[in-house]
Chain A
């Protein structure tokens, strides 16, 4: 990058990280606090806002529920000065707690349109069936019949569920927000709408499904794992498909 360019354009970077193990019990707000402190420990030259209590310029693509693990979490930061991505990853991983791992550090263009918060449009999940709700690590295989039932579930005209937000309760048809749902070897694969426009959580899908197959939810405890997050593929790019991983932009 040329020096002159650097002066006018801010340097921004997108960090991709994994959250696993006991870190699944750390809520979203605490993950934000965790990364603020990690940036300082790692000596990442992050930029601050002005004012009496300056804070780091940092934004997370999408919160992850407590109990859920993930291979594809993202946060965008603004840098005061450039840093070599490989070095940044190394420095961050040197100060991580077990259960947090930085797997990517990419520079991204400096414009509102490309911020992780605004562009996230979908997320993929893997759902596993547990022997008991007591442990997310001990899984069992899904009943054979479920593969066909998933198809029937998706073939309904609409899938109406009661969606609770902080303020209200509303009946919503979630079918348009389920982009994919299928049985795979490792578990049920879900590809769902995510982001500020439309957002569907995986547990809501599985609740609707268990109701549909008239299964007692207490007997089929699930564990949710987020695989990745996606944006709509920008026009004019070579990538194929409607969605592209946030890490590949």
Chain B
């Protein structure tokens, strides 16, 4: 019978005990005596969020294919259990074996967003692993970080032994082998880290020293260990078809955010929106073969029993075989009660047709992400969506019976003027006007246009990495301009407006482009009780502000200045393929409002060609013909 780390009394007292008992269908059990490496894979958020993440499922499957490795999962205990574990001194455990994390060889943490940083400290703390990497000895696991936020790992440098930069499918085998060799040779933790530092894509933050200028910017960033590389190169899977994919993902007992089969159809995006980090990090765009995806769909539905399937990618409409794949999914599975969950698609005859087949038109809504209200602003961010395209798409959809539209915009973009802000409500209103042009008898009641704005956060490795942000008050003022303009619109009764929280934006901005000195702030905030900061009900801005004040850290330094051409960024030592020169050129083009074509129209020489894969090596003419009417 399965043993559990938590006793019955606790499990019957806390919310959703199923978060902590493991035993899910397709979870992997092994004999600990028969493996060489115990790997705990962590998503530092609650189970329902962590279980919905595809990347972890890919790595879990990949590691467990190795006979000598047992990879298990661990998520953040929710606040109720967190308190009990501290009171009763129960060490954090992995779901499969229920063994303490502290006894594992590796603790791998995927870092998906900035607001999970205090949760990372919670994981280490509850595991009984010293928070600072320099205080760890051979008895505790090697703590390794990966994921999008590892592209600027510096604010977390203090807490990790190493970071993995790039696609997880590539050099993990090498890393695990190095670990085994080191153990056989009787090497120490430091010996292993030195071996790891020599593997491409592995960054050991403890082997580098940073000095600062008087103005607070970086003066130098240098390796201080002979094994540490000057530059860390992003690792990339060139061929997305012939690589790992979890055909039997773990099936949770409780409802999780992504309770369905997920097919990753491509990685990367051809578009080059200037605010988008993923669009640069995952260059070049690589597609997964459509026949392979069809096979995966069969196998994964069969192995999980999920009743829903969805597609994952940054911009699904750009997947060259989309029509074929979606048509196949509908024809093959719709009849057996499988719900096809469509990604947001460019509105055209095809997408309206498939949407009509898989959704209830009266209940579903259309989604547009123009990101900016004015054409000028959209040119600055290189979002190739024109007002004409939006109105046309909406018009077609309205004619087809839809009457709900969702619009997504950003506020606080570089060069934004009041006029640009006001264009957001006006665009929403023009969409509503298009709806009311339809004769009353033919339309389906009132329309409902819902607009959401978030505040723009400049991210590393984007053309906007030089841009400045604004203060909390300024963000609120900008949202107020938009709100006010909404009240001026003819169809205001059909328009709704929501905006995101500004306080969190400020913090995300600091950590996105932060340096290693911020470790102090994260630690201070954690000690003050900050946890689950991405959960509105738990976020406590006052504590965070106190953490900044207590450590003498100036938010303005990170957020309120436009960075200089010559400035050394904390993430400059990472080479993601796209060059800093290209990004700077894009920044200058943005300021001039010049649009850059997407990778399929014309290569702009971003640097990612070096990987010799994906869209960079596609035959452009052929692809464009294959795309048909776009």
Contact = CB atoms under 8 A, between A and B. Distances in A.
Contacts of B2: 21-22, 98-99
B12 interface: yes
Contacts of B305: 36-41, 95
A188 B337 CA distance: 45
B304 A41 contact: yes
Interface residues of A, number: 34
Contacts of A95: 25, 305
Contacts of B4: 22
Given A25-B18, A52-B360, A37 B304 contact: yes
Nearest to A41: B305
A43 B336 CA distance: 11
Interface stretch (B180-188, B249-257, B263-271): B249-257
Contacts, number: 80
A26 interface: yes
B255 A52 contact: no
B18 A40 contact: no
Given A48-B337, A52-B360, A97 B24 contact: yes
A23 interface: yes
A99 B2 CA distance: 9
B554 interface: no
Contacts of B359: 52
A33 B12 contact: no
B23 A99 contact: yes
A204 interface: no
B307 interface: yes
B326 to A, nearest CB: 17
Interface in A114-171: 132-137
A86 interface: no
Contacts of B306: 37, 40
Interface in B4-22: 4, 7-12, 17-18, 21-22
Contacts of A53: 339
Interface in A35-68: 36-41, 43, 48, 52-56, 66-67
A212 interface: no
Identify the interface centre among B10, B21, B306: most chain A CB within 10 Å of its CB.
B21
A37 B12 contact: no
A30 interface: yes
Nearest to A35: B305
Interface string A12-34: 00000000011101110010011
A195 to B, nearest CB: 25
Given A30-B18, A54-B337, A97-B23, A134 B8 contact: yes
B253 A30 contact: yes
Interface in A58-102: 66-67, 95, 97-99
A67 B11 CA distance: 9
Contact of B1 (A21, A26, A132): A21
B303 A98 contact: no
A66 B17 contact: yes
Contacts of A67: 8, 11-12
A133 B9 contact: yes
A30 B254 CA distance: 6
Interface string A188-211: 000000000000000000000000
Nearest to A53: B339
Interface in B206-261: 251, 253-255
A97 B25 contact: yes
Interface string A220-236: 00000000000000000
A243 B18 CA distance: 35
B253 A41 contact: no
Given A52-B360, A66-B17, A98 B23 contact: yes
A102 to B, nearest CB: 14
Contacts of B360: 52
A54 B340 CA distance: 12
A95 B251 CA distance: 12
A133 B24 CA distance: 25
B25 A26 contact: no
B302 interface: yes
Contacts of B495: none
B8 A133 contact: yes
A33 B337 contact: no
A55 B21 contact: no
Contacts of A22: 2, 4, 21-23
Contact of B337 (A23, A55, A99): A55
Contacts of A98: 2, 23
Contacts of B176: none
A53 B339 CA distance: 7
A135 B6 CA distance: 10
Nearest to B360: A52
A51 B482 CA distance: 40
Contacts of B251: 37
A53 B12 CA distance: 34
B301 interface: yes
A55 B8 CA distance: 34
A4 B356 CA distance: 37
A30 B301 CA distance: 19
A30 B21 CA distance: 14
A135 B8 contact: yes
A135 B7 contact: yes
Interface of B: 1-2, 4, 7-12, 17-18, 21-25, 251, 253-255, 301-307, 337, 339, 359-360
The 8 nearest A-B residue pairs measured at CB: A37-B305, A40-B305, A134-B7, A41-B305, A25-B17, A133-B9, A54-B337, A52-B360
Given A26-B18, A38-B305, A134-B9, 7 more contacts: A25-B18, A26-B253, A26-B254, A39-B305, A55-B337, A66-B17, A132-B9
5 contacts: A22-B21, A25-B12, A30-B255, A40-B307, A41-B304
